Each structure stands twice: as C-alpha cells, then as structure tokens.
Structure 1
C-alpha cells in the first residue's frame, strides 16, 4: 500500500504533507516562486558565503513541493540545476499543484534514489541541497558519514553542502557529529526559524571568513538581485558557533 500524500490549503498557502502533520512543502498562491517556509530561505544562505555568479551548478536531493528548485530556476538564471527525487508521485504533484516547471536546458529531474544516483555519477556541484525524508520524516541511510563524505567528494573547489535537518525529538548531536567528521570540522548548524528544523552547512575549498558588516552587505545585495531576504539569517549564522562572535568562519 502506498503511503498517502496530502495537499491542504489555508490562508492562501498550499501545503504538502506525506500523510503526517509535518509540512513537506508550501507555496503561497499569489507568489508561487517565493520561498514560503523559513527553512527553505535559510538553506540558501550559501549565497552569503560565496560571491556571485556562484553557484553555477546545483544539485538537490529531495524535491518536496519544488520551492527551492523554482526559486533557483527563476532567480539564478546562470545556474544549471539537477534534482533527484525518489518518489514519482512527488514529482507529479509538484508539477500539478505547485507550479513546478518541466525539464529544460537548465533543469533536469532524475527519478532515482539519492544513494544510487550519487554512487553512479562523476559530476561535481557548487551547491548541494539535501532535503530528503521518507513518509515517517526520517533520512535513513542519507544520514551517514559515508553519504556525507560522498557528497563532499562531489563538491567543486568552493562547494557547499546545505542540509535541512528535521528531528521529532529535536536532537541533532549524532547527525552533526557525522557531518563534522565527514567535512573535517568545516561545518556549522543553526536552529531554523521553522521550529523543529535545523540548517547545517559543510564547506570545502577556500576558507570562509566574513564579519557581520560584510554579511549584512551581502544580504542586501542578494535581496536586490533575487528578492530573497536573508537579513534575518545573518544573526543565526553568526551565532552558529559559540566562539564565532561577530565573524562567520567556515
């Protein structure tokens, strides 16, 4: 028996659920290409860490309602985006109910298990977005040192992994320990404005060292270029490590 996928609407917002109360995606009907959920906006905080035209190549593992992919397709016109989604019904629903576009020369969707896809590809990406859960809101084998190492190996020289972590018990110590080990301690995480989510980043390549003033300047530039307001995320980044003070170091 297939697990249920539910679509609900409230106050002008359409929500995607995988048969539970947990929201797997959302779209405001009047602005379908904006990032409605705070955690999706925070997952794009890599735009503050690397300078445009980064990222040129993006990989998403997990589609959901397609919010991140729609944003990238519209607001980052220089980016080529590969999306991996294991569930055909999710792709069909994203296209029917959430205005997810058809494949073109900048967007390609692969209906495949993320583990299998990564094991078979030699490609590398500037930004990898990991937001994949089953119907019980579990990551399963995608939450392992081996998989995080695999993702790291498929990043370009200035690549970033951006991961949405969700845990019903709100405990992330094990996940962060695995991520830190896989990325040689070049990782950070902060609690999302969406209660219950945590956003984690892993970095390779040139060190990231930005003070608060530069981060805020970059947030204004990103908002001007894309409409995405990352100003509230700056303080979360600065507070991600206890000893960071007014600096983001990654």
Structure 2
C-alpha cells in the first residue's frame, strides 16, 4: 500500500518554479450537510478537511515540501536527513536553553508535522524523551515517512492523524507536555491556521510548569501583530521573540511555570552545552534573543 502511494507521489512530483497566487480553501461541507433552501437535518455533520496537494521540489541537494504553491513547508538535506536544515526550524529548538530533555517523562509535542525535521531530530537526539506529532493531513504523514525519512511509531514516537485544536482541547493532555512546538500553516503559508486566544490558552494548559511553547509566525504579514498580542495574553506577557529570518519567519517562545530570572552568562553557558551536544547554533540564539527583546539586555527576567 505504501509503495503504491509513494509511486503516485513520485509520478506527480513537480519542481515548482513560479509563484502560485491561488489560495486553496481549507475546508468544505461534509456530505449530508445543508445547502441553502434545504430542510435542516436531524444532526449537523462536522466539516471535513479539504487539503491542498502535497508536492515536492529539490535544489542543490535539499528536498522541499510544498502544499501546491512555491511556499516551503519543510526541508531536508539529502546527505543529512536527520539534521534540521532551515534556520527558523532550528530556532524552534531554542527551548533547550531553558529545559533539559534528559529528565524523566519528558514529552515533546509537535503540532503540524511538515517535513518532520523537528520530530525526527527530537526522536533521534533525546533518547529518554517521548515525541508526539499531530498532523491533520494524512498525505503529509505519508510524505514524511516516504520522502523525508520519518520512522514508524515506536515506544517513544507517536504520529497522530488529528486536528491540533482537538489535541490541545483534550483535557487528558492538561499539564502533560514539557515542550509544545507549533507550526500550523496551510497552502498560502501567510499565517497560522489556528491563531485565537482560546487556542493559545489551550496550548498553555497542556504545558507542565515549567514548560515552553515555541511557535512559527510570519513577521511580514498582518497576522503577526495579532498573534503576538494573543500569545502574550494567553501567557501573561511571558514571551520572547527572535528577529525575523529568511522568508519572513519569526519564532516566538512562550513560558509557563515559575518566573525566569537569570543572567545571560548562565544562558550562554547552557548554550555552549546545547551546541556541543546537538550541533545546533545555540550561542547565536542567545545573542539574537538578547538583542531582539526590550528590557532584557542586561538580564533575562520573564
């Protein structure tokens, strides 16, 4: 079955060379729902997803994931399939400056699988951590496993075909997650598809204390200020942001739990350890966070 699906993917794989300006509708009425003029049914059925096509491109040894447009939804260097290729995705791991994944029952959750870079990295790098990925589009999950090297589920790895909203609203996940990595974009890639204050408050409820949410936002778009405002509201203004990187991505970190009051020298020492053990540019993270956040220049207090 997987081989047949993979062959279908390969038959339709397209090198995307020009920008598509068509926004694909993300949802449509399910069969049996009412149209105008019809009598109400006994029970309204939930809207079922309508997904943009999953497509791929390759350039200079890097394979990219797209949802039918030129916008990049994830990437993998073919010679380093377990590395995190894109800078903004590397910055999604900046929670490592504040939390250690070596503690017992450490749980990392990824909302939005993309090319599975973060999920693969956490599963491989942190041998004691549980890693869960939540992805609504089954084709993205298949692409992750057939085109981007995502392993099958095991004792520490779980990939769930589920709406991220439903996952964070599930009360069984309250206070159960150490790190929540949020990267939820549709085909147009201009802003998160879940961006309400209610969603961000639900995200916070899933976190342990201490716990950290990292989120990919689009700085060069009117969705950015409203998302920052809503995240700050949900997390009591305990939010740090990175400077904007390639293609407008801005990564934000939001904190749950005890107040952090520490010198940057301590954070820099932690960054040295992270960089040596993971290969991630953690010392660069410290410099950028220190420079980009007001009133945090001398000491991190949040």
Interval containing the TM-score (normalised by the shorter chain): over 0.9
The separation in 1 between residues aligned to 2:88 and 2:260, in whole angstroms, is: 22
Residue of structure 2 equivalent to 1:204: 256
**CA distance, structure 2, for counterparts of residue 217 and residue 193 of structure 1:** 24
Structure 2 CA distance, aligned partners of 1:195 and 1:212? 29
Query: Which consecutive unaligned segments of at least 5 residues does structure 2 have?
Result: 1-49
Counterpart residue number, 1:139: 192
> Within 5 A, what are the aligned runs for 1:99-110?
99-110=149-160
**Is structure 2 residue 212 aligned with structure 1 residue 160?**
yes
Provide closer, same or farther for how the CA distance between residues 68 and 148 of structure 1 changes in structure 2, counting only shifts above 3 A: same
Partner of 1:231: 283
| Deviation at residue 95 of structure 1 after TM alignment | 0.6
Query: 1:209 Cα deviation (Å)?
Result: 2.5
**Displacement, 1:65?**
0.2
Cα distance in 1 for residues equivalent to 2:81 and 2:234: 36
Deviation at 1:243, TM superposition (A): 1.3
Gaps in structure 1 of 5+ consecutive residues: none
Does residue 97 of structure 1 match 2:147? yes
Partner Cα separation in structure 2 for residue 153 and residue 3 of structure 1: 31
Q: 1:190: Cα distance to partner?
A: 2.0
3-state SS of paired residue (1:109): strand
Indicate yes or no: 2:74 matched with 1:74. no
TM-score (norm 2): 0.78
Match of 1:49 among 81, 98, 121: 98
Q: For residues 81-104 of structure 1, give each alpha carbon's deviation from its aligned partner in whole angstroms, at most 9, with x where no partner exists.
A: 111000000010111110011100
Deviations 1:100-131 (A, max 9, x none): 11100101011011111222241220000000
Report if aligned partners of 1:62, 1:132 keep a CA contact under 8 Å in 2. yes
Q: What is the TM-score normalised by the length of structure 1?
A: 0.93
Identify which of 38, 43, 64 aligns with 1:15: 64
* Distance in 2 of aligned mates of 1:2 and 1:154: 27
> Does the CA contact (< 8 Å) of 2:180 and 2:207 recur in 1?
yes
- Structure having the higher strand fraction is 1
Q: Post-superposition shift, 1:18?
A: 1.1
Backbone CA RMSD of aligned residues? 1.7
Q: Match for residue 113 of structure 1?
A: 163
How far apart are the structure 2 equivalents of 1:127 and 1:178?
19
Equivalent position SS for 1:239: helix
For residues 25-72 of structure 1, the C-alpha deviation after alignment (integer angstroms, 9 at most, x for no partner) is 010111111110001110110101224525811111000000000000
Any conservation in 2 of the 1:210–1:249 contact (CA below 8 Å)?
yes
In the TM superposition, what is the alpha-carbon distance from 1:246 to its structure 2 partner? 3.0
C-alpha distance in structure 2 between counterparts of 1:92 and 1:102, whole Å: 10
2:295 maps to 1:248 = no
Q: How far did 1:4 drift?
A: 2.1
Alpha-carbon contact 1:160-1:203 (below 8 Å) kept: yes
Counterpart-to-counterpart distance in 2, 1:171 and 1:210? 32
Aligned to 1:87: 137
Q: Is residue 2:76 matched to residue 1:27?
A: yes
